[in-house]
Amino acid sequence: MYGVSVTRKYKVLFLCRENSARSIIAEALLRELAGHRFDAFSAGPEPAARVHPIAIAQLRPGISDLGALSPKSWLEFTGEWAPRMDLVIALDASVAGHHAPLFPGEPALCNWTFSDPLADGMPEPERVRLFEKVFWQIVRQISTFIELPQYATARETAASVGSSVCVSDAL
């Protein structure tokens, strides 16, 4: 292929407890907005049986492949056969840092903490509003993340970025 620049795709794994809402939303958005530069995955320690219907409703208008989304155990990403992640992003405190397993490839780890729209005891109208709020927070976070200069350059810079890959979640 002449005249085409072939660059490596970065592998990003998003984590949240049930892998049915926040991490699924982040995976879908990164894949849709920058799938040519990133391979996006999501998982959690206690995967739900299905993607939460409100998460699907939030994604439906702009995500082309909703069928590819499903809750997965983070153990699927820990074996020798697992893809080597460049970055693992925890989307809630219960899976951050020392709670997460070791992932092959020594990926950078960071936290983007968002409210849990699946919290118990929340009335349905409030839950829907929180889903929408969290969805747009994740959109802003992903949009900022994909604009980071290290992801437009060679792999050597990815190893040196450290905590700068962890865009502040205070957007």
Tell me the whole-structure pTM to 2 decimals.
0.85
In whole angstroms, how far apart are CA 66 and each of 12, 18, 62, 141?
18, 18, 10, 20
pLDDT at 78 over 80: yes
Residues 6+ apart with CB under 8 A from 169: 111, 112, 113, 114, 137, 141
Q: Where are the domains of the chain?
A: 10-158
Q: Are strands 108-111 and 38-43 parallel, antiparallel or unpaired?
A: unpaired
Please state, in angstroms and rounded to a whole number, the distance separating the CA atoms of residues 112 and 33.
18
Residues 6+ apart with CB under 8 A from 70: 50, 51
Q: Which residues pair with 44 in a beta bridge?
A: 73
Residues 6+ apart with CB under 8 A from 96: 90, 111, 113
Q: What is the pLDDT of residue 152?
A: 64
**Looking up tokens 């900022």, which residue turns up?**
144
* Coil, strand or helix at 46: coil
Give tens-digit pLDDT for 157-167. Answer: 444 444 445 66
Q: Which of 77, 119, 124, 117 is nearest to 101 (CA)?
A: 77
pLDDT at 168 over 70: no
Report the interhelical angle of 22-34 vs 124-146 (nearest 10°): 40
Query: How confident is the prediction for the chain on average, in pLDDT?
Result: 84
At the topology level, CATH places domain 10-158 in: Rossmann fold (3.40.50)
Structure tokens at 147: 């604009």
For residues 134 and 115, the answer to whether their CB atoms sit within 8 Å is yes
Q: What is the pLDDT of residue 87?
A: 96
Cite the DSSP H helix spans in 8-123. 22-34, 53-59
Give tens-digit pLDDT for 3-42. Answer: 545 567 999 999 999 999 999 999 999 999 999 999 999 9
Give tens-digit pLDDT for 80-128. Answer: 899 999 999 999 888 876 678 889 988 999 999 999 999 888 899 999 9
